[in-house]
Structures are given as structure tokens and as C-alpha cells.
Amino acid sequence: MNDSRRPHRGAAPEDSAGAPPKGLYLITPDETDTARLVERVRAVLGFATWLQYRNKQADAALRRVQTEALLPLCRAARVPLIVNDDWRLARDLGAEGAHLGEDDGDLRAAREALGESAILGASCYDDVDRAETAVRAGASYLAFGAFFPTRSKSGTRHAEPKLLHECAHLGLPMVAIGGITPDNAEVVIAAGADLVAVISGVFDAPDPVAAARAYRAKF
């Protein structure tokens, strides 16, 4: 297990050199076929810094099955697995962390339940106040966006790259999400993003491996 899976409570997770994590934060597509999901992830996992399991089409039973299927894959690749929306599932199955949006429960309660070693992310959208609250509640990283038009989530809020500059003083790794491509990733990285979160940019690409490689090359 590398050091990026052992953040202190409310502090930035760090890699083995003591630096914040950098790179591609890969998010799974809404795939109901578990075997196909595993194969799709397997092909590109080696390019990811973190993997988030997210499936808005799955019920609770399928989410558990798919998380269980992805865990050994991630462990073998030494890539932390972070569960979207459901910190209880992450705790029960021993995933490395959870990511919570504004309707997914209390961050402080999640931190207390998951312990100091968990990676705990918070969606902050375009809201500096929410980011400051998340830091106080024990978040490990802050996610902002959408920065560009995205097909993955309808009705999402829009964030400007300058928001990343404004939140740099909070001292946590920052994740940029929303319509990020290899062509525009440099905009948010230059503004302060430590990781870029991607779903369709990799999984819907004509060549997912080439796409994942292109994202990683930006770092």
C-alpha cells in the first residue's frame, strides 16, 4: 500500500515522496455488466492515480457486487478505490475511501466512521464556502466543476478555473471535473488542479488506452 492511501484526518493525502497526489482520477462508467466493467477498467487502470467507483444506474446490490469485483483489481495495481456516494459501502468492503456530494450524507460523520486513514472527497462544485466547510469536516481532497460542458451529469453547475486559484490556500489536493479532455486539461492544471477526474473522456474514447495515456502525460 502506498502512502497516498494514508492521509491524516482532514489533511492532504500524500505519495511516497510526501507530495500531494497528481494525475488521472478515473471514474467508472454506468456499466451494469460487472464482467465488462472489470475488463474496461483493467485496460486503463495502470494510467490512473485513483479510481472512483460510480454507477448511477445500479441498485445497492449491484453496487456492492461491482465494488467487490473492483477491489482486488485495484489492490493488484496499487490504485486506491474510492466509492462514490456511499461511505458505508466503502467502510463495509474496506475500500480506501469515499466521495460525497452535497446530498450524500455528512462529511464529518463519514470521517469518523471511516477513520483517519481513509481518502474522503467532497464535491464543492463552484462554491468556496462549501470547500471551506469540507476542510473543517475532515475532507482529504476537494472536487470542483464542471469546468467544461459534460455529458456525464445534467444540470451541473459551472466553475471557472480561477476558482482553483482562490481555493489553493485551503491546502488540500484539488480535483477538476466536468468535460475535461487531453486538449483542455492543461487549463485546469495550470490553475491549480492536482488531479483531473474523467469518465467519458477515457471510457467513451475510440481508444481508451491511448486516451488514458494522454491524460497522464499532462502530469
* pLDDT value of position 7: 36
- pLDDT at position 77 over 90: yes
* pLDDT value of position 3: 35
pTM over 0.75: yes
Catalytically annotated residues: 54, 123, 153
* pLDDT value of position 150: 81
95-114 tens-digit pLDDT: 999 999 999 999 999 999 99
Residue 107 CB neighbour total at 10 angstroms: 22
Q: Give me the domains of the chain, ranges plus CATH numbers.
A: 18-217 (3.20.20.70)
Q: What is the mean pLDDT of residues 166-185?
A: 97
The single-letter code of the amino acid at 36 is R
